[in-house]
Structure 1
Amino acid sequence: MELSLAPPAIKAFMCGSLSGTCSTLLFQPLDLVKTRLQTLQGGMQPGSGRVGMVAVLQSVVRTEKLLGLWKGVSPSFVRTIPGVGIYFSTYYSLKQHFVEGRHPGALEAVLLGAGARTVAGVVMLPVTVIKTRFECGRYSYRSVFGALRSVCQTEGPAALFSGLVATLLRDVPFSGIYVMFYSQTKASLPKEISTSSSAPLANFSCGVLAGVLASLITQPADVVKTHVQVNPQLRTAEALRFIYTEHGLQGFFRGAVPRSLRRTMMATMAWTVYEQLMSRLGLKS
């Protein structure tokens, strides 16, 4: 079946998957650095901001070579290609059902983004757990499916859903907040800009602003999620106490710079590519 003849939701899935593939390949090193910062890999005592990022980057390149920065890219692909496709197809379907033919309001945008992320987040959580373990450097898994099998055999299938609460507390608000800021700032653009050849660049700028705000608001939940998935014996409440006891309030913002960069650029690129592909297929995203 040609893509042009496929149902709109399938087109949205394909466009989302392609946009997710591009953004994952480009920004995987930032995700690895974020995970290493949050888990204090290798006894490092990274500070916050640029110094911590540089220290981790140098350590990874020195001990694992340049390609070590893309460690975990396989589970990232396994998660992102279907995951972003599920997200955008769910978002498109919800939007068509509830706000067809008009621009969503601020609250509607939050609910659309949150609903789509909830579905994608729950479905893809097992791969998210494996991706986090690949990146932290504490596990020596050889492949994604081998890791899935190993976790099921040694820890039980429930371990693949560790950090579910923290993940949803991170991803659902992020997506809702991102979609709200993105849709509202894009709608406020002058018509001569939104209909011109510079529209993709303007939309990209709106996405950057939305991504930074959403990333900073949800950063504490990301730190908790990482600790729970790397240390499955920890529950969410225990992880909260551990982070606060060991690092204080600033511990909840460890890795904020690389995560903000990655999440902002990934979300912005994904939405920009998705909207351009959907437009070429004659669909309103």
Structure 2
Amino acid sequence: MELSLAHPAIKAFMCGSFSGTCSTLLFQPLDLVKTRLQTLQCGMKPGSNRVGMVTVLLSVVRTEKLLGLWKGVSPSFARTIPGVGLYFSTYYSLKQHFFQDRTPMAFEAALLGGGARTVAGILMLPVTVIKTRFECGKYSYVSVTGALRSVCRTEGPAALFSGLMATLLRDVPFSGIYVMFYSQSKASLPKEISTSPSAPLANFSCGILAGILASLITQPADVVKTQVQVNPQLRTAEAVRYIYMEHGLQGFFRGAVPRALRRTMMAAMAWTVYEQMMARVGLKA
């Protein structure tokens, strides 16, 4: 079947890509701080003084200038623009195919979100690996394409899929939980609010609530994913054991604050912009 720019799935892809571009540019500093916190803390010896989010933030600004907070934004764009577009177009296509005539229930909404994230997560994982390495500060890559070539040449193509299991264990539940809470909280809004000019603000608030819950539940998987991608010699189980032996249960929640802020704000903004743009092109999100 031939696709054109007027095809609903293509429109959903374009709306999702635009929303991902806006949210990535705004919240990239939080992602960088989160990655630095996770890789720094897991490299510290037990008993060392803990380093907080503000300390890392000031250190980056002092040593790498203000623009240093946007280090890794190129691979973030390379991942997010097509990745969010792919996520929303997959979500829209699945929803239209299975739930065209009715609103998905809570469990069905979770499956929709998780399924869409699985497709996007697997396809975009190589760029996710490069993005994580850019942000951690341990690698001196110059460009995304140069980093991809370097990893393939020195570590083999398989390294570009390091952390696949941890990434899916983080992203699929996050998306499923987020979509479930977001759709249910939106459905519970009074009709006079959901149809008023303040509806985007109300939807954004629903997204904030859903994002906080989803971020906290999936935080341990994010710490493991970061360690595996920065240290590809570690397998997922080994990374879990290392983090626990070195830092205990609290080690799995390193970087939780900047990640929760970023993921929550990014998801809420992406969904709000996506839904508004879909409405403008005449489609129901």
Same fold (TM over 0.5): yes
By how many angstroms is 1:101 displaced? Answer: 2.6
Structure 1 residues 188-199: aligned runs within 5 Å? 188-199=188-199
Q: Which runs of 5+ in 2 are unaligned?
A: none
| 1:206 paired to 2:229 | no
Counterparts of 1:55 and 1:229, CA distance in 2: 24
Counterparts of 2:30 and 2:6, CA distance in 1: 35
Distance 1:92 1:46, change over 3 A: farther
| 1:164 paired to 2:164 | yes
Counterparts of 1:280 and 1:65, CA distance in 2: 39
Distance 1:162 1:246, change over 3 A: same
Counterparts of 1:185 and 1:32, CA distance in 2: 30
SS in 1 for 2:141: coil
Letter in 2 for 1:175: S
Q: Which residue of 2 aligns with 1:226?
A: 226
SS in 2 for 1:124: helix
Distance 1:284 1:46, change over 3 A: farther
SS in 1 for 2:251: helix
Q: Which residue of 2 aligns with 1:175?
A: 175
Distance 1:6 1:210, change over 3 A: same
> CA deviation digits over 1:29-52, x for unaligned, max 9?
0000000000017969674xxx71
Letter in 2 for 1:246: E
| 1:75 paired to 2:75 | yes
SS in 1 for 2:125: helix
Counterparts of 1:86 and 1:46, CA distance in 2: 42
Letter in 2 for 1:92: Y
Counterparts of 1:205 and 1:56, CA distance in 2: 29
Aligned residues: 280
Structure 1 residues 195-274: aligned runs within 5 Å? 195-274=195-274
Counterparts of 2:240 and 2:5, CA distance in 1: 49
Q: Which residue of 1 aligns with 2:61?
A: 61
> CA deviation digits over 1:93-133, x for unaligned, max 9?
00000111321100100000000000000000000000000
| 1:40 paired to 2:71 | no
Counterparts of 2:214 and 2:223, CA distance in 1: 15
Distance 1:19 1:78, change over 3 A: same
By how many angstroms is 1:178 displaced? Answer: 0.1
Counterparts of 1:274 and 1:253, CA distance in 2: 30
> CA deviation digits over 1:162-194, x for unaligned, max 9?
000000000000000000000000000000000
Q: Which runs of 5+ in 1 are unaligned?
A: none
SS in 2 for 1:138: coil
Q: Which residue of 2 aligns with 1:147?
A: 147
SS in 1 for 2:14: helix
| 1:10 paired to 2:1 | no
Letter in 1 for 2:214: A
Counterparts of 2:84 and 2:253, CA distance in 1: 25
> CA deviation digits over 1:124-172, x for unaligned, max 9?
0000000000000000000000000000000000000000000000000
> CA deviation digits over 1:208-230, x for unaligned, max 9?
00000000000000000000000
Under a length normalisation based on structure 2, what TM-score does the superposition of the two structures give? Answer: 0.96
Counterparts of 1:225 and 1:179, CA distance in 2: 22
Write out the 4+ residue segments of structure 1 that deviate beyond 2 Å after TM superposition.
41-47
Q: Which residue of 1 aligns with 2:107?
A: 107
Q: Is the 8 A contact 1:40 1:46 kept in 2?
A: no
